[in-house]
Every structure is written in structure tokens, then in C-alpha cells.
Structure 1
Amino acid sequence: MKQMYPPPHHQSDKISKMISVIKQFPLGMLVTAKEEKPFITHIPFLYNESTQKLVAHIDRNNPQSETLQDNAEVLVVFKGPDSYISPSVYTTPQLPTWNYIIVHLTGIIKLIHEPEAAKQTMVAMTEFLEGETQKFILKKDDLRMDRLINYIQAFEIEITNWEGKFKLSQDKNTPDFEYAKQELIKKSRKDISGFINEIYK
């Protein structure tokens, strides 16, 4: 008998949880296609609470910008924490697996051409990324903005489909489910300074 894929217990339709993923991990993957050629760019996204739309910017020199047309359908992927889960953490015999939190959003794009509106999206994006202890304030009248605005394309995405992929060992018993959660938390907090230093060499 053929099983459903993805398994229903790994899927979430709770939009509030997916919004939390977007806010905690705003660097999304913008996926588009042109003449069957795929394009992917990693850019930060802002979820606008009032309009319930995603807002972002892309470099006009990026070849993917040519695929961004009004009313075109796009896919955005947000990746939360993920980790290998060793069978050694469980209380029952299990096989190795990989747990993860992913959000897929499909939507319709609308380009923002008006310079002042585009600047405002950049101001809002910066304020969001700076967080509660905002140490830098981007102002619309900053002269550097006038030079930059011609090199970026701002846009918003009206979300038409939400898909939460939360693979968290939901099929295990309660103790094992909890152990898998603690393992994901532990792996998410691990020190990666050595890795980063190596990459920077």
C-alpha cells in the first residue's frame, strides 16, 4: 500500500507557527523560473503584519530579476533549525533520521516601482532586522538611499499557499519525541566559531 508523502504528521497548517519561522529565520530562498531554467537567490524577507505579504529587494544586476514580473508565481523557502538525530538519544530502538523545520510559501509577485515606496520597504526591513535594541536607524532621506535605489528592485508577494514542513519525530512515543526535541535544541546552539573562522580563511 502506497503511503502518503509527505506524511501528514510532518505537515503543519498553523500559519502562526510559520510566521514565527519567517521572523526567526528571515533569510529566504526566492525560487523562480524562466524558459524552464530555475533561479534561486538568498535574500532577507520581511513579513508585513498589516498586509500579510512578504516584502523584499533584489539586485537589478541579478539575472533572476528578469524573471520577476507582476502577477508571476514564485516560491519562497525559509529554513529553520535542523539536525541529525542519532538513535542513541531514544529510549526505544530506532533508525537514524534528520529533523528539520521548513516553510514553503507560494505567492504572486507585485513589483514596487515608486522610489519613495521602495525606500520605505528598506527602512522597514532594516528596522525589523535591527531588532528591539535597534542600534542603527535607516532614514529615507539618507543621500546614500538615492544612489542605491536605482540598483535594487523592491517587491512584495501576496501569499497564496502556506506549507509548514515540521519533521520533529512526531511518530515516536512521548519520551523519544522529547529527547529528539532536546537534541535539535542542543545542535542548534552548538558553537560553530571554528567552522566560521575556517570559512573566512
Structure 2
Amino acid sequence: MNKYPPPHHQEQNPENIIKVIQHYPLGTLVTAKDDEAHITHIPLIYEADDSKYGKLVAHIDKFNPQVNHLINDSSATAVFHGPQTYISPSILSTTQLPTWNYIIVHVKGKIHLLKDRDQVRETLIRMTSFLEGDNPAYVLAENNPRMEAALDYIIGFEIEITSWEGKFKFSQDKAKRDKALAKAELIQSQQNSVRAFIDDLFDHHHQIITK
């Protein structure tokens, strides 16, 4: 009997799953209530704690309708999108069909709202510190007046992770040579396509604004 998703596309190594979340922290937050689904794209920062999987920390605009879904212990799903690309049979060493390779992580968990203003402030500082990296060019000060004003307009929350799964499809079932070629294509596609795409997108957007 065929299994779906194919086992060889399911990533089980927690370290690899965490790496995707950390390298691509702009997640897609999905919640549902009364048959209504809401989706928001926000940074979700992974933090280890004493639990089995750890947690995600985030904040959201208080005027976002999805806030109505964010109730303590309610369920949420976050999707993290890593690199992805079309794989043409023309690049492979054997006869294959066209396919799409991608790295995606699904995280499920329980919402915990941060009611305390100091907690939300500290979360913003930790998130900024993570995103700035090991050699930060910017440090968000605890007494930053802009942050203090922003606290009136955001809702801070955590997602207690209850399960996760990695969906890593990069031609694992193909011959060794083809796996290497598909890997090279995935890397090259990210390097070559982004600049042209962004330039075109920004130029078109600028034309619309200036008309």
C-alpha cells in the first residue's frame, strides 16, 4: 500500500527542523474558529525550553482579525517555507518527469497570550536579538520610546509546540548523480532568480505608484 506523504520526504531530525525555522523565520500562522480560517505572515522565533519541542514567540497587530482566534490553549499551525524550485528533467542524468523540490516545516501548537506588558517588551527584544544575529548592527534598547508606543498596538503570544513535521523533497528517491544535480539546481535557482524577480517586482510597483 502506498503511503502519503512518502516516508522519504518526511524529515524526522529535530535539529534539521529547527534549522529551517531559524533560517526562514517568516512563518505562515494559520488558525480556525467557527469554520473561519485566518492566515497571517509574521516572524515566529523558535526558543528552546523545558518542553519536548520548545516554543515559538511572536506578536501581531491588535487590529488584525486573527486576534479573535488567539485564545489561550487554542490550536494554531505555523508553516515555514525554505528553498524551493522546479526541477527540469533536462538537468538530470537519467530519464525522469518534471517535479518540484522544496523544504517546508509544519508546526502545531497551543496559543499562550502574553498579558504582561513587560513580557511583550522582553519578547520584542529577544526576537530582535535573534534576527540581528551574532554580530548585531542594531540593539533594541529596553527603554526605546518607539517600542514603548508600539506596545499599545500589538498582541504578544507564544505557541507551545505540540508536534512538528519536516517536508523535505529533494529527489531522495533518485540516483546519487541526480540527487547531486537536483541539489545544485536548488541552490542555483535561489541565487539566480531572486534578483531578477525582485527588480521586476519593485520596478512594476514603482510604476503603479507614480502613475
SS in 2 for 1:100: strand
Q: Which residue of 2 aligns with 1:117?
A: 119
8 Å Cα contact 1:55-1:156 kept in structure 2 = yes
Written as runs of structure 1 = structure 2, the 5 A alignment for 1:1-201 is 2-50=1-49, 52-200=54-202, 201=206
Amino acid at match of 1:17: N
Amino acid at match of 1:84: Y
8 Å Cα contact 1:130-1:136 kept in structure 2 = yes
8 Å Cα contact 1:10-1:166 kept in structure 2 = yes
TM superposition shift of 1:63: 0.5
TM superposition shift of 1:16: 0.6
SS in 1 for 2:192: coil
TM superposition shift of 1:188: 1.5
Give the Cα separation in 1 of the matches to 2:154 and 2:136: 24
Question: Any unmatched runs of 5+ in structure 2?
Answer: 207-211
SS in 2 for 1:190: helix
**How many percent of aligned residue pairs carry the same amino acid?**
47
Question: Any unmatched runs of 5+ in structure 1?
Answer: none
How big is the alpha-carbon RMSD for the aligned residues of Structure 1 and Structure 2?
Answer: 1.1
8 Å Cα contact 1:29-1:42 kept in structure 2 = yes
Amino acid at match of 2:70: L
Tell me the number of residue pairs that the alignment of Structure 1 and Structure 2 aligns: 200
Amino acid at match of 2:109: G
Would you tell me which structure has more helix in proportion to its own residues? 2
